[in-house]
Structure formats: structure tokens, C-alpha cells
Amino acid sequence: MRTPCEGPGEEEQEEGAVANTGRPEEVPEAQKGSDSDLDSDLETEGTHGLQERVKDTLYLRSCRAHGVVPASCFLRQGSAPELNLQHRGLGPQGARALASALTSNPYIKRLDLRDNGLCGPGAEALAGALSKSSSICDVDLSENQLGAVGAQAVCSALVVNPAMQKVQLAGNDLEEQAAQYLAELLVAHTGLKSLDLSYNQLNDQAGEMLGPALAENTGLTELNVSWNHLRGPGALAFARGLEANIFLRVLDISYNGCGDAGASALGGALKNNNVLEELNMSNNRISAAGALSLGLGLRVNQTLRILVVSRNPMRSEGCFGVLKSVQANPLSALELLDFSPRLESKPFQKYFHSSSPSGLGQLMSDILSVAFYLPSLYNSKARD
């Protein structure tokens, strides 16, 4: 048994060759009549209805040509701005059938193809439509096993489409080879605002390519690289890119194992970055030493509103050090500081309630009230 991304076997190829050289499959009379009815109907409908019938007719013919079952939700889509085809099992052939129809659809603004087994060939088939569409500005291709081949096709298409603003490529087995194409996209596309690269295999080498690209990017405001492998030199390069970037407002780098070196580099980035507003560094193996290094950036940063450092082994010492850094910055914009569940440990609670420098106890209460409240709320809902 082969995976969805593997090509046909030798026997299937031979069967396909026989089918192609044999007599063409006859179209049922009812189907022929249906096509002629569609053609005649087009002559009497208005412009809006005409476009919809043309779109549907092209899609049905394309499905027959590629031997796939039409997606009924596409036919029902009409002039709706969102086409949701999640979990439909389209595969590469279904993507080819869909691509030819997308080029004639002026209504779709958001295209959701998550979890369809498109693989590299499917992405290549869609690339032409994505490069030419002037209406699609939001596309979700997550969980499609795109790999480097698919990443190259998608990135090449998006580079020449200035209309694209949001792209989701989570869970696509993207590694350092794919990072090369992603870096080119970041540098070339100034209209892209949101990019999701979470749940991939982006490693140190990928970070060393993405970091400089992030420094040069002049449009992205939200980036998600959580659940990757940005560590060591890759994490340092990524942090340097963040330091130079002047557009990014939201960064999720959680679950990467950046470690203390990465935390120190991000702390340095926060000293000079005056744009970033939200930073998620959860589960990055940051100890007390790394937390104190991160705090050096918090002493001078004036834009960060939300900082999430939950599930890091920074102990009470690291948590308290971060808070002291915030207190030392009179221009800090911090509204939410999330240490959960680390804050609920007894040593920190004892430290929290003990005598502290003037005003620090109140600062901790003010800043952490929301961080404490959310876990409590979720826990109570779970119990109910």
C-alpha cells in the first residue's frame, strides 16, 4: 500500500495507458443533454448568473477530465467569499480539477484546503491558479504533505501575487530545503501580513535562512513558527532577524527548545525592537538564567503588551527576576505576563507573599491577575 503522495504503480500505469489508447468513454445521453442545457441556459441568464454557470460547467468538465468526483460544496458555493474544502481527500487529481475552475471564479477571497493530501504535485497544480487570482487573499494549505516540492510551487506562485495577505502552511513536513523558498517569499512579498509555519520540521539551518529574511521583510505583522526545531544557531539567527524587523507585531515561537541562549538573544532583540506587541515563548527549556537574560530586554522595551513564558523550568528565581525587570521599566506596555503553571508552585507563592521592594507586590498583583484568572477559568469549565 502506498502513501497518498506516492505515484501510481507499474500495473496502474499500464492500465492507464490502455485506457488512454482505447476508445474514449462514451458520455451518457443524460449527461450530454445536461451539458447542452447548461449551454442554452447561459444565453438567457444575467451576467452574475452567467459567471456562476460558467464556473460550475468548467469545474464539472474538469472533474470528468481528471476522473474525480466533483465536490458538491464547490457547486453550492455560488458567490460566497469563502470556499471551505477541509478534509475532502481531494488529492493531486482533485487539486488539478479545482485549479482550472478557480481561475474563472472572481468571488472567492478565502480558500481552505486543509488536510486534503495534496502533496507536491497537488500544490504545483494549484500554483497557477494562486498566481493569477486577484480575489483570493487568504489560503490555508495546512496538513497536506507539501514538502519542499510543494513549498517551492506555492512560494513561487505567491511571490507574483500581491493580493495574498494570509497563508497557512502548518503541518507540511517543511525542512531546511523548504526554508529557502520561504525566505525568498518573506523578502519579496511586501503585502503578506500573516504566515503560519507551525508544526513543521524547521531546524537550525532553516532558522539561519529565515532569520535574515525576517530582518529584510517589510510587511509581515503576524508569524507563527511554533512546534518546530529552531535551536542553537538557528534560534540566534532568528532572534537577530526579529531585532532588525520593524513590522512584526505578533510572534509565536513556542515549543521550539530555544534554550537559554535563544532567550538571551530574544532579550537582546527586545532592547532594540520597538514594534513587537505579542511574544509567545512557552515550552522552550528556558531556565532561571535564561529568564534573567530575557528580563534585560524587558527593562527597556516599550511596546510588548503580552508575554507568554509558561511551561519553562525557570523556577521562582527566574519568574521574580522577570517581574523585577518589568518594574524597573516605567515605560513598559506589558499587560499580560503568563508564567502558568509555574506560578502555582508553593515556593513562588511564598516568595510572592513575602516582603518585597516597595510597589513590587502590587505590580505582581496587577500584571498577573489575568494570567492567574485564565487557567482558573479553564479548569473550572473542565470540572463542570
Distance CA 222, CA 248 (A): 6
Segment holding 76, helix H or strand E? helix 72-77
Segment holding 279, helix H or strand E? strand 278-280
Distance CA 4, CA 55 (A): 28
3-state secondary structure of 84: strand
pLDDT, tens digit (0-9, with 9 covering 90-100), for 291-300 = 999 999 999 9
Residue of 361 and 248 predicted with greater confidence = 248
pLDDT, tens digit (0-9, with 9 covering 90-100), for 207-218 = 999 999 999 999
Cα-only R_g, the chain: 26
Q: What percent of the chain has pLDDT above 70?
A: 75
Are 276 and 308 within 8 A, CB to CB? no
The DSSP code for 139 is E
Residue of 260 and 13 predicted with greater confidence = 260
The reported pLDDT for the residue numbered 37 is: 41
What pairs with residue 252 in β-bridges?
224, 280
**Cell match 470556499: residue?**
83
What is the DSSP secondary-structure string of 180-218? Answer: HHHHHHHHH-SS--EEE--SS---HHHHHHHHHHHHH-S
Whether 285 has a pLDDT exceeding 80, the answer reads yes
The reported pLDDT for the residue numbered 129 is: 94
Query: Please, what is the average pLDDT of the chain?
Result: 83
3-state secondary structure of 1: coil
- How far are the Cα atoms of 66, 128, 144 from residue 62, in angstroms, in the given order? 6, 15, 22
Torsion angles phi and psi, residue 197, rounded to 5: -120, 25
57 band by pLDDT with thresholds 50, 70 and 90: confident
First to last CA, the chain: 45
Whether 283 has a pLDDT exceeding 70, the answer reads yes
Q: What percent of the chain has pLDDT above 90?
A: 67
Superfamily, domain 104-119+131-383 = Ribonuclease Inhibitor (3.80.10.10)
Residue of 329 and 346 predicted with greater confidence = 329
Whether 164 has a pLDDT exceeding 60, the answer reads yes
Q: Where are the domains of the chain?
A: 104-119+131-383
pLDDT, tens digit (0-9, with 9 covering 90-100), for 144-163 = 999 999 999 999 999 999 99
Whether 136 has a pLDDT exceeding 50, the answer reads yes
Helix axes 91-102, 47-66, angle to 10 degrees: 150
Whether 366 has a pLDDT exceeding 90, the answer reads no
* Nearest partner of 107 among 154, 56, 68, 167, judged by Cα: 56
Are 139 and 166 within 8 A, CB to CB? yes
55 band by pLDDT with thresholds 50, 70 and 90: low
pLDDT, tens digit (0-9, with 9 covering 90-100), for 332-357 = 999 999 998 754 445 445 544 443 44
One-letter amino acid for residue 226 of the chain: S
Q: Which residues of 100-112 are buried (b: 16+ CB within 10 A; e: fewer)?
A: bbbeebebbbbbb
Whether 32 has a pLDDT exceeding 60, the answer reads no
In the predicted model, what is the mean pLDDT of residues 69-90? 89
**Cis peptide bond N-terminal to 8, omega within 30:** no
Distance CA 259, CA 267 (A): 12
